[in-house]
């Protein structure tokens, strides 16, 4: 069982659910069913959720593949933990409008993905 992927996926699902509930709360407040209705806070919430989802899906696929070729490799767990922390920071940075923190969190997220992708590539061609 790919336990590190399962754990990371569960934590990311909680983050994504929280972001989704925030969107729902704002939709109720602003009485908007589709789109953002021109409300900046709703637009930001939608993008925060979308960005987290986009990044998380790729990471989880890469983690799962890595766990299948290197079962029990603890580096995968570390990457998952760093990625989750980066995604939480990214969401906080979006809502608090801290551009530098958002950029750093994004770079960390991408480095986690690249580390797994390059590890899989190395594993496949060696």
CA dihedral 3, 105, 59, 113 (to 10 degrees): -110
For the stretch 46-55, pLDDT in tens is 999 999 999 9
The radius of gyration of the chain from alpha carbons, rounded to an integer in Å, stands at 16
Instruction: Mention every residue, 6+ apart, whose C-beta is less than 8 A from residue 81.
Output: 8
CA of 70: how far to CAs of 76, 78, 118, in Å? 9, 14, 14
For the stretch 57-109, pLDDT in tens is 999 999 999 999 987 778 999 999 999 999 999 999 999 999 999 999 999 99
Q: Which domains does the chain have, with CATH numbers?
A: 3-125 (1.20.120.550)
At 2 the pLDDT is 81
Centroid of chain to Cα 66: 18
- In eight-state DSSP terms, residue 87 is H
- Looking at every residue in the chain, the average pLDDT score rounds to 94
- In eight-state DSSP terms, residue 72 is T
Centroid of chain to Cα 60: 9
For the stretch 14-49, pLDDT in tens is 999 999 999 999 999 999 999 989 999 999 999 999
- Assign 113 a pLDDT band (cuts: 50, 70, 90): very high
Cα–Cα–Cα angle for 50, 13, 43, rounded to 5 degrees: 25
Q: What is the pTM for the complete model shown?
A: 0.92
The rounded distance, in Å, linking the Cα atoms of 23 and 17 is 10
At 63 the pLDDT is 96
Residue with tokens 């061609």: 125
Structure tokens at 81: 């933990």
């Amino acid at each position: 069982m790919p336990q590190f992927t399962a754990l990371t996926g569960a934590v990311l699902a909680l983050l994504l659910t929280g972001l989704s509930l925030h969107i729902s709360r704002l939709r109720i407040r602003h009485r908007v069913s589709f789109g953002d209705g021109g409300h900046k806070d709703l637009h930001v919430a939608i993008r925060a959720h979308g960005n987290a989802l986009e990044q998380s899906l790729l990471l989880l696929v890469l983690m799962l593949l890595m766990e299948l070729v290197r079962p029990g490799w603890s580096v995968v767990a570390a990457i998952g933990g760093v990625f989750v922390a980066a995604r939480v920071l990214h969401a906080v940075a979006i809502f608090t409008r801290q551009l530098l923190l958002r950029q750093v969190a994004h770079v960390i997220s991408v480095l986690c993905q690249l580390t797994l992708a390059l590890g899989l590539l190395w594993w496949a061609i060696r």
